[in-house]
Amino acid sequence: MKYSIGVDMGGTNTDLGLVTENGNIVQRRNLPTSAYTELEPYIRDLMREVESMLDTQRAIDGEAVSLEGIGVGAPNGNFYTGCVDNAPNLTIKGNLNFAKEIHKYRDVPVVLSNDANAAAYGEYVYGGAKGMKHFIMFTLGTGVGSGIVVDGKLVHGSTGAAGELGHNILVPHGRKCTCGREGCLETYTSARGIVQTYLELRRENPERERMLKEVPDSEVTSKLIGEAAHQGDPVALKTWEMVGDWLGLAMANSVTFSAPEAIFLLGGPAQVGEPLLRPLRAAFEKYLLNIYAGSCQIRMSELKANEVAILGAAALLKMKV
Amino acid sequence: MKYSIGVDMGGTNTDLGLVTENGNIVQRRNLPTSAYTELEPYIRDLMREVESMLDTQRAIDGEAVSLEGIGVGAPNGNFYTGCVDNAPNLTIKGNLNFAKEIHKYRDVPVVLSNDANAAAYGEYVYGGAKGMKHFIMFTLGTGVGSGIVVDGKLVHGSTGAAGELGHNILVPHGRKCTCGREGCLETYTSARGIVQTYLELRRENPERERMLKEVPDSEVTSKLIGEAAHQGDPVALKTWEMVGDWLGLAMANSVTFSAPEAIFLLGGPAQVGEPLLRPLRAAFEKYLLNIYAGSCQIRMSELKANEVAILGAAALLKMKV
């Protein structure tokens, strides 16, 4: 049987999985990324897990297994160079040449991209974007990421760093962003941005708050705001309405670029569902240029939240260059 | 010798030219677009001009001439369908099937796109973007258009209408746009937007105005504001500074999409030069996400203003699909 490996490298943990041709994850392993400060031991241990999964699979299948390649989704993962370039969240510092290091152990194709790009490509190969030629994926989390597919290919641009719509400036001179600039989409629709909106609203309207009255500012999360919304809390509902409006504007703007068939949404805060999706769809329609009316749907990712990163990384191996 | 035809269809006039393999326009003709209300007679007369140019060229070259195809840049020109779809500025109404109509006269490839896309592709085939794989073209004029090249191909998107960055909403709830929405880039950096900014500024600071004091509001043009800036008029200089800031922000945002090697600028208002380019470059640097620093240049189109439309239309024939 043929398998590929998908590696989801996060700042704290690395999840990896053995993936079948059809996109089933048949085994999973885990590595504590933050326990490493050098690339060599990290890759050594990563490849140990890879070999161990292949051995196990050989026993399960009762036949030879072949490895199609290793796909890696990593912060600042660069498709062109096969390197992770100075990712601020990693304890392993510098320009990390994954491909070169992995090739010390296995001579297989190694493909890298950032996590949002990988998620987008996972949706294309295994999820709801199958058969589409043009779509965009927005991922909401600690930050806001994006992956853009044009003519069936991920857009990596001249440097490999294309598709950073989370840092599109949505509101000129708006909220301060961690990138040092102001008004980035991420400051409004990341988990942190959502919390900020909620805190601002409850400060302005203390009498309207119901569910999270007793929760101190530092303990409010986007998840709690989601639950409060489902219980009808007016401040929480207003928060999601504003988030939906900002995200709808950003999505409508992205359509003027590549006229995608669909825009997919992924990530923890997006799980809230209707309290976000209702205002999001309304805003998208309101802000969409009329020539695109009806040509682009907003859809939730069809991949499971705990599988998308590994599947996306594995999917990168399917990309035509 | 091999030639192609480039057709620049505007609302008032249609310019067409016979173009050599190297991008020299060896003959030009003209047709009054607004004199037509039906496609058939328009194409009949267009093809009459085409045949006349080919006859003349045969005589000049003293040998057979072959026609590679006809490229058309037109408002709402759709690459996929070969049609001009309901362009509001045309006196010829409806969905105009150029390709089908032209084929009644000549069985040659017919390629259509909108004017800004054509200009971008002209820059790629014959101008300063030669050899680039990723770049964006912004065209300033009555409106603001754009053409986006990713991996050496024009981005047409799922509908054919990709690349409308003039209608990216730059300022939420900003200036009213002709498209019915608010805050589009076009409302700030088109010729009309530039005039609006000037008029607002002179109303607020009548004592600072120097050169255009005697010019009534209805006669102020972006060209006059350009001349005033070169003569040191503070209101005109401030106008271009603001236009540069808006355009720089829009360009920086476009980089988060496709990480282009360069952004090209074209069109009447851009001819003002330094009064616009200086603040534009400063704003671009200020608004650019740090990971892109130094990776993308702002450049003026290298094609002649009176040739770019015809060359761009002819260049469309060179596109790999």
B181: left (phi over 0), alpha (psi -120 to 50) or beta: beta
Q: What is the pTM of this model?
A: 0.95
User: What pLDDT digit, counting tens, does each position of A106-118 carry?
Assistant: 999 999 999 999 9
- Listed in sequence order, the residues at least 6 apart from B55 whose beta carbon sits closer than 8 Å to its beta carbon are none
| Closest partner CB to A165 (pick from B157, B161, B257) | B257
Over range A175-185, report the average pLDDT.
Answer: 96
Distance from the Cα of A130 to chain B's closest Cα (Å) equals 14
Go through chain B and tell me how many residues it has: 321
Low-confidence ranges of chain B (pLDDT < 70): 321
Residue A257 has pLDDT above 80, yes or no: yes
Q: CATH fold of A131-300, please?
A: Nucleotidyltransferase; domain 5 (3.30.420)
Q: What's the whole-number average pLDDT of chain A?
A: 96
Q: What is the predicted pLDDT for the residue at A158?
A: 97
Q: Which amino acid is at B264?
A: F
Residue A123 has pLDDT above 70, yes or no: yes
For chain A, the domains span 2-124+307-318, 131-300
Q: What is the predicted pLDDT for the residue at B124?
A: 97
Interhelix angle A115-126/A308-315, rounded to 10 degrees, is 80
Q: What's the distance, CA B309 to chain centroid?
A: 7
| Closest partner CB to B253 (pick from A168, A287, A290) | A168
Domain A2-124+307-318 has CATH 3.30.420.40: yes
**Domain A2-124+307-318 and domain A131-300 have a common topology:** yes
Distance from the Cα of A212 to chain B's closest Cα (Å) equals 30
Q: Which residue does chain B place closest to A287, by CA atoms?
A: B181
Among A258, A261, A290, the strongest candidate for a mutation testing the B interface, having the largest count of B CBs within 10 A, is A258
Distance from the Cα of B278 to chain A's closest Cα (Å) equals 20
Residue A87 has pLDDT above 90, yes or no: no
Q: Residue B290, Cβ neighbours under 10 Å: how many? A: 10
Residue A210 has pLDDT above 80, yes or no: yes
| Closest partner CB to A295 (pick from B76, B158, B257) | B158
What are the b/e assignments for B12-21, b being 16+ CB within 10 Å? eebbbbbbee
CA atoms within 13 A on the CB side of A44: 5
Q: What is the predicted pLDDT for the residue at B321?
A: 61
The confidence band for A321, taking pLDDT boundaries of 50, 70 and 90, is low
What gap in Å lies between CA A53 and CA A27, rounded to an integer? 7
Distance from the Cα of A262 to chain B's closest Cα (Å) equals 9
Please judge whether A259 and B153 are an interchain contact, meaning their C-beta atoms are less than 8 angstroms apart: no
Name the phi and psi angles at A43, rounded to 5.
Answer: -70, -40
**Assigned CATH for B132-300:** 3.30.420.40
ipTM of the shown complex: 0.94
Comparison of pLDDT for A194 and B75, the residue scoring more: A194
Q: Residue B107, Cβ neighbours under 10 Å: how many? A: 8
- Write out the DSSP string of A123-173: HHHHSTTTT-SSEEEEEESSSEEEEEEETTEE--TTTS----GGGSB-STT
Q: Which residue does chain A place closest to B256, by CA atoms?
A: A164
